[in-house]
Amino acid sequence: MNKILILFAHPLFEKSRVHTALVKSIPASGNITFHDLYEKYPDFNVRIAQEKTLLLEHDIIILQHPFYWYSIPPLLKQWIDLVLEFGWAYGPGGEALRDKIIFNVVSSGGTEEAYSSEGRNRFTIRQFLAPIEQTALLCHMNYIAPYVVHGTHLLTPEAIAGQAARYRALLDLLPGTPIDTLKNFDGKYLNELVTK
């Protein structure tokens, strides 16, 4: 069974309809650890040793966050800066995270069409996330396609409930899916695993 670590970063979680529903749908399972970064480190003083231990205990790392300004929230960047240490995650002897799966779970106000070379935002979500992808590569991890909830401002409560149910299905599926299968996933969004 794969162990999953959800690194959740949302600076105003209490006002987010989508993330509230997604987080609520996370199954209570010994294989899944939900880690609320803004709740744990409101002062941005990420405790490095604790975070390293957590990473070592899990096989799949999920970065769940809103997509403000085409990027990850600042605390998540702080987390990356502090935890992925030279000589531990990368560089000489930096092998601690080798072969782990990592991907983003992103909510975005824009539609899928807006995030394309013809759309308003000119780039795809995956393209915007290139720094994360490269960070993962540098740390010898397998970065796979993001799981995306688009057009969040327009979602009806029913649609949000549907999104939450699919996210739950994904999290039910992941522990039993072989790492190799995940590593070779070549779709655009990881959503395809649960919509097909």
Partner 1 sequence: MEGSFLKTALVFLASAVVFVPIAKKLGMGSVLGYLVAGIVIGPFVLSFVGTEGQDIMHVAEFGVVMMLFLIGLELDPREFWKMRKSIVGLGVLQMGLTAIVLGALGYFLLGYTHPTSLAVSLALAMSSTAIVLQTLKEKGLSRSSSGQSAFSVLLFQDIMVIPILAILPLLASSGLHEMESDHSLIDGLPGWLQTMLVISAVGGIFFVGKYIVVPLLRMISKTRLREMFTAAALLLVVGVAYLMELVGLSPALGTFLAGVVLANSEFKHELESDLDPFKGLLLGLFFIGVGASINFTLIANEPMLLTTLVFSVMVVKGLVLFLTGRIFGIRKDQNLMFCILLSQVGEFAFVLLTFSRQLQLLDTYWTEIMMAVTAMSMTITPLLLLVNERLIDPYFGTKEEVPRKAADIIDENNSVILVGFGHFGSTIGRFLRANGIKATILDNDSDRVELLRKMGFTVYYGDATRIDLLRSAGAENAKLLIAAIDSPETNAALVAIVKKHFPHIHVMARARNRNDAYELMDMGVTDIYRETLYTSVHMAIDVLKKLGFRSYTATRKAMDFIHYDEAALEKLSKHRHEMKDYIMNVKEQIEMQEKLLSEDLHLGLTSEDHAWDSDVMRKS
Q: How far is the CB of 75 from partner 1 (least distance, A)?
A: 14
| Half-sphere exposure in the Cβ direction for 182 (13 Å, CA) | 26
d(CA 16, CA 6): 17
Q: For the chain, give me the number of helices (H) and strands (E)?
A: 9, 6
Binders in 113-132 for partner 1, by CB under 8 A: none
Single residue of 54, 82, 114, 159 touching partner 1 by CB under 8 A:
82
* By CB under 8 A, residue 14 contacts partner 1: no
d(CA 161, CA 20): 10
* By CB under 8 A, residue 42 contacts partner 1: no
Single residue of 36, 59, 85, 112 touching partner 1 by CB under 8 A:
85
Single residue of 12, 27, 74, 87 touching partner 1 by CB under 8 A:
87
The binding site for partner 1 (CB under 8 A) comprises 43, 45, 47-48, 81-82, 85-87, 91-92
